[in-house]
Amino acid sequence: MELNGELNKLTTEGRNPATLNIDTLSTTGIVTLITQEDQQVLEAVQREIPHIVEAADRLADVLKRGGRILYMGSGTSGRLGVLDAAELLPTFGVGEDQVKALIAGGHRAMFVPVEQAEDDFEAGLRDFLAENPSSKDALVGISASGRTPYVMSALKRAKEMGLVTIGLTCNDDSQFSKVADVTIAAVVGPEVVTGSTRMKAGTAQKIILNTLSTTVMIKIGKVYQNFMVDMLPTNAKLVSRAENIVREVTGASLEEVRQALETSSYNIKASIVMLSRHCDLQTAHSLLDRAEGVVGRALQVQIG
């Protein structure tokens, strides 16, 4: 009964008065109503900009000092964390040694619902500690309710250990907010289908994770101008994109760009510096090291 009472207080578990008769509507009516409700999501996210900014600055500092970011969640929240972390490797060259996602129920839960796993307090703590976290790391807990036991156990321990702790939820005054250093609470209101937090809550979490991780990547030098200069060209499309990025930034010919990329083993940053500063690969890497990997600064560093 205690759990039922707790859930009944959550905005994400409430009944949406605008959709009480959605089952009687035409297909057009259903689709229109769902998309109208979705319009509230971006507004809810924008209200949380100050908290997203604070979280991004803290997480960027974690990576700059050699720490790691761990995402933890269950169900839709967990899958969104896995998706965000996985996409950082091809997009920004950031792998599990810097950002890793843990989901209640393990890899299988990405494809098959393991609903009971979210209630496993001990499993959350066990999965977290298995990553050998230290005080230089960060934990981002993701939960629409802001109370998922699998995540809360890890969040509490992380706080005790001195990690940076971030909570991402869709409810005000959640359990996350009582523990995390920063809580991002995008209150999107009751779902179109009561309690189906894969909808508005999931959309809000996806937007926030996109914004948060991309901002962090920009802050640590993974973007020059608006190009992803640490992208890994692992297929024909990405090789072509790498060529276009270097050509656009440097103004070099396609032949020169391809030669620079081949010389640098398709390191986009090094290729840009080589062509812009008219230097060899070793010098380009030296300039980037002195500029802490930030291309704009490497282009200004004095050679020698």
> Which amino acids are annotated catalytic?
87, 118
3-state secondary structure 208-229: HHHHHHHHHHHHCCCEECCEEC
Sign of CA dihedral 46, 136, 72, 178: negative
Per-residue tokens: 144: 């629409």
3-state secondary structure the chain: CHHHHHHHCCHHHCCCHHHCCHHHCCHHHHHHHHHHHHHHHHHHHHHCHHHHHHHHHHHHHHHHCCCCEEEEECHHHHHHHHHHHHHHHHHHCCCCCCEEEEECCCHHHHCCCCHHHHHCHHHHHHHHHCCCCCCCCEEEEECCCCCCHHHHHHHHHHHHHCCEEEEEECCCCCCHHHCCCEEEECCCCCCCCCCCCCCHHHHHHHHHHHHHHHHHHHHCCCEECCEECCCCCCCHHHHHHHHHHHHHHHCCCHHHHHHHHHHCCCCHHHHHHHHHHCCCHHHHHHHHHHCCCCHHHHCCCCCC
Count CB-CB contacts under 10 A for residue 93.
18
Measure Cα distances from 76 to 11, 81, 103, 145, 181 in Å. 17, 9, 10, 12, 23
